[in-house]
Amino acid sequence: MRDKHQIIEEPCEVKVSCTVLKTNGVGDNLVEFTTFLTCSDGSKIESPQFFKQSLNIIKKASRYHSRKLKGSAKRERARKNLVRRYEDIYNRRRDWFWKLAHELTNKFDVLCFETLNLRGMQRLWGRKVSDLAFGEFLQILEWVAKKKDKQLVFVDQWYPSTKTCSSCGYVLETLDLSIREWRCLSCESVNGRDENAARNICAVGASTVRLGDVRRANPAIAV
């Protein structure tokens, strides 16, 4: 068993990615996900965007494949080449996931996450969310955490982590996706959108596993 007091000093951390950055607003590139995780200490882990990096290579390999005569040996070679390109992205991404899972579990004893409706986000924003492959990362993290006797806590996605002030608990009625920073109407503290949400998820998650005080209106649902 771990010493509980040791854990309390650094209770937990990390909130799911989902930083929506406004790019130049050209065509369908209105939103871009680049932050993979926002931690409750305010630090961010950027996603290397493996698919995006290799998009031109994939496109080229795909074009080359489709130009070859069906049933020909050249087409088969082109198909194998295309498959290898996809495998390459997959492997590099998984490699990065493993490293990150070890890094996080070395640093923290309890890791809190918000369960997000990833499928719904994928429908809205397409490839960019699947590029983040958050579900795949969580599977790896769960495995590593289990091996190292660390704890993962999942906070229900309907908990208003973004709209709740992490300083005083005041809950906003609405908060538009484009707003990156807001001032609390009650205690006047300025909250960075993701950092504030990460602090709330950390507090709710910690109280769920009895490492912090329960002072939020909405407790976490799942452990």
Q: Which residues bind to Zn ion, rule: CB under 5 A?
A: 165, 167-168, 170, 184, 186-187
Which 3 state secondary structure label does DSSP give 58? helix
Of residues 179 and 223, the one with the C-beta less far from Zn ion: 179
Specify the residue, 21 or 190, whose C-beta has the smaller distance to Zn ion: 190
Q: 155 — phi, psi (to 5°)? A: -95, 135
CB-wise, 30 or 168, nearer to Zn ion?
A: 168
Q: What's the CA gap between 38 and 217, in Å, rounded?
A: 23
Choose between 49 and 167: whose C-beta lies nearer to Zn ion: 167
Question: Is the Cβ of residue 14 or residue 165 nearer to Zn ion in the bound state?
Answer: 165
DSSP state of 223: -
Sign of CA dihedral 117, 122, 124, 128: positive
Give me the sign of the Cα torsion angle 46, 51, 56, 57: positive
**What is the DSSP annotation of 160-191?**
-TTTB-TTT--B-S---TT--EEE-TTT--EE
190-211 burial: b if 16+ Cβ within 10 Å, else e: ebebbbbbbbbbbbbbbbbbeb
144 vs 165, beta carbon nearer Zn ion: 165
Enclosing H/E stretch for 32:
strand 31-33
Q: Which is nearer to Zn ion, 61 or 165 (CB)?
A: 165
Residue 213: CB atoms within 10 A of its CB come to: 9
Question: Listing from the earlier edge strand, what are the strands of the sheet with 35-38?
Answer: 15-16, 35-38, 44-46
Closest separation in Å from C-beta 41 to Zn ion: 19
